[in-house]
Amino acid sequence: MEFAFTDEQQMIAETARAFFAENATSARTRAAMEGDGIDTALWRDFCEELGFSGISIPEAAGGAGLGLVELAIIAEAAGAHVAALPMLGSLMLCAPAIAAGGNETQREEWLPGLLSGATIAAFVEDPSLIVQNGRLTGGSRYVAHGALAGLFVVTDGSGAWLVRRDAVGVSVTAQTTMDQTRPLAEVRFDGAVAEALADPAEGLAAANRTALVGLAAEALGGAQASLDRTVEYAKERVQFGRPIGSFQAYKHRLADMMVEIEQARSAVYWAACAVDEGSAEAPLALHAAKSFAADTGFRCAADMIQLHGGIGFTWEHDAHLFFKRARSIQTLLGKGDWHREQVAAMILGEAA
């Protein structure tokens, strides 16, 4: 596998970093948190001006036809600024599911709106979902951006269906959410009319791969930003006549953060490369990347709060935005313990 970025990937990385640094400011993120959890202008520019929304969607389906390495680059840049965008549901789960598992009619109907940002989609998983004669009964309390979705991709773990928000029998209730940049909603179906994906197995597999890499890359971006901001603070904050970054104990904490981040970076891009290259290691790499990067993001955000001292514990400081995002990433798409169990089973087999 080639772990060095190509010239095209370097250009994408520079463009993404510059875009989020200029536009995904703390003030705009907090304004979105006070509203519906989305920075609408940022979302429009992300989708329409830069075309990042279809980065990993095949060209035949209207996307850019690139891979998960490029998606990871963009997700890492977004995570570094805790961007208030509905990337998880619309672009990491639903769009790949429809592109890979939908028929031509389903792709033509939904993908243009998803990739332009005009339509927001949310992913609903309910293992106990009841399906009878094309109607669904069930739902979930924890659907990212569910309150804003115009389309739901619903699964019981094996089948997958498309349900319109305005269908009879669909109810949505916004929830009080820890990470206000990724608000959750309770979505319930009571005999709602659903349209089955043409190839649910392929669609769900594509969604799972894309979302695991995307979330891991988000966590990596948040961890790196936590370290960078803490280093800058360590240079400016003076105690006992010296910058606090000159104290040995402080240096050790920063060094520990850096080591974990570099390991997480290797895990994230290993997973993205493995998927793009069709490697047999891909399933193992995906579980490793999600568990390691999510935990690294959480630890670095927590260290950021502690190493900023008293100011880090105030709501006005952005450290809390990173901490809450990192905590939510840990719980999405399987907790770290579950992913590590999958890694153990793959490596050790029955001995696990």
In this predicted structure, the answer to whether residue 246 has a pLDDT above a threshold of 80 is no
Three-state DSSP class for 162?
strand
Which range has the top average pLDDT, 209-213, 230-234, 306-310?
209-213
pLDDT of 228:
95
At residue 241 the predicted structure's pLDDT band, cuts being 50, 70 and 90, is confident
**pTM for this entry:** 0.94
- Supply 272's token pair: 């993205």
170-174/195-196 β-pairing: unpaired
The predicted structure's pLDDT at residue 329 = 96
DSSP three-state, residue 17: helix
Question: Contact, 55 vs 194, CB < 8 A?
Answer: no
pLDDT tens digits, 317-336: 899 999 999 999 999 999 99
Predicted pLDDT of residue 310: 77
d(CA 100, CA 162): 14
Q: Which residues are paired to 164 by β-bridges?
A: 151
Q: What is the pLDDT of residues 12-39, one digit of tens each?
A: 999 999 999 999 999 999 999 999 999 9
- Radius of gyration of the CA atoms of the chain, in A: 20
Q: What's the pLDDT band for 220 if we cut at 50, 70, 90? A: very high
Residue 173 pLDDT > 70, yes or no?
Answer: yes
Asked if the model's pLDDT at residue 1 lies above 70, the reply is no
> Is pLDDT of 260 > 80?
yes
CA distance linking residue 303 with residue 295, whole number of Å: 12
Mean pLDDT check: name the lowest of 60-69, 106-115, 261-270, 342-351. 342-351
Kindly state the DSSP code that residue 45 receives in the 8-state scheme.
I
- pLDDT category of residue 352 using cuts at 50, 70 and 90: low
- Phi-psi category of residue 219: left, alpha or beta, with phi > 0 → left and psi -120 to 50 → alpha: alpha
Nearest to 83 by CA among 182, 177, 160: 182
Domains of the chain are 201-351 (1.20.140.10)
Percentage above 90 pLDDT, the chain: 86
Length of the chain (residues): 352
What average pLDDT does range 92-115 have in this prediction?
A: 97
CB 109 within 8 A of CB 138: no
pLDDT confidence bin for 223, thresholds 50/70/90: very high
Q: How far apart are CA 207 and CA 22, in angstroms?
A: 30
For the beta carbon of residue 99, count every other beta carbon within 10 angstroms.
27
Report the mean per-residue pLDDT for the chain: 93
Is 266 within 8 Å of 4 (Cβ atoms)?
Answer: no
pLDDT band at residue 312 under the 50/70/90 scheme: confident
Higher pLDDT pick, 145 / 316: 145
